[in-house]
Amino acid sequence: MKTTPENVYEDRQLFDRSHVFQDRRHAGKYLAEMIVFYKDSDALVMGIPAGGVPVAARIARGLDLPLDVAVVSKITLPWTTEAGYGAVAFDGTVKLDQELVEEVGLGRHTVEEGIRKTREKVENRNRLFRGDRPMPRLADRTVILVDDGLASGFTMRVAVAALQDAGASEVVVAVPTGPARSVERLADQVDRLYCANIRTGVRFAVAEAYENRYDVPESEVMDILKEFQGE
């Protein structure tokens, strides 16, 4: 019998199914219905660029909440951009998967260079998406942190830590899909975790939750943010 932590909310009808969402916007609409409790509250929706922002925008629309971004990026292995051994968040928070670093034999220089490049990427994206806008008030506030899915969950955990360090009173994670093992690990670090489509098994790919999933360009993220700022 499958059990989940008490602070994890899922849709049992979607359990272990693939291709359950048409696209990211459909996933965001689905999640908004799951977290309707936060409608018209003081909560802030923050999407992780780039793929998490279209999902977050639909949640913010559905709940009449403001939208912003939480820039965070994984530190990728030198030979592939698909896997990472750590992550850097918008406030400079850096966390390393020390076990993986040792397992693949990364030297200190390689790790330091990876951190430097990733920190530069995060700073550039912050400037691109935020411009002159200051960070919104996070202290004593509920933040709903959104991505288009969990994989290992490491990047999300770094973003959560940065929000907690900024004084958020409640950190809620909302993702369309994720593997059970990552959901369970992340649940210990957040107040609530909404994951509509939890899947089990050895193999997991976020893309398999969607009929249509593409690499979101930075221009699309900027258009979404401008739309909310113009209101």
DSSP, collapsed to helix, strand or coil, labels residue 121 as: helix
Tens digits of residue pLDDT in 11-42: 999 999 999 999 999 999 999 999 999 999 99
For residue 1, pLDDT beyond 50: no
Higher-pLDDT residue of 152 and 147 is: 147
**Which residue, 231, 62, 40, 22, is CA-closest to 146?**
62
CA distance 109 to 127: 27
Question: pTM of the entire structure?
Answer: 0.92
What pLDDT score was predicted for residue 33? Answer: 96
Structure tokens at 156: 């999300």
Say what percent of the chain tops pLDDT 90: 76
CA distance 124 to 143: 23
Tens digits of residue pLDDT in 62-115: 999 999 999 999 998 888 777 788 999 999 889 898 888 888 898 889 999 999
Say what percent of the chain tops pLDDT 70: 98
**Cα end-to-end distance, the chain, whole Å:** 48
CATH architecture group of domain 8-71+137-229 = 3-Layer(aba) Sandwich (3.40)
Tell me the CA distances in angstroms from 48 to 90, 98, 106, one per residue in order.
10, 23, 27
**Which residue, 17, 49, 14, is CA-closest to 31?**
14
What pLDDT score was predicted for residue 2? Answer: 52
Pairing state of beta strands 72-76 and 44-47?
unpaired
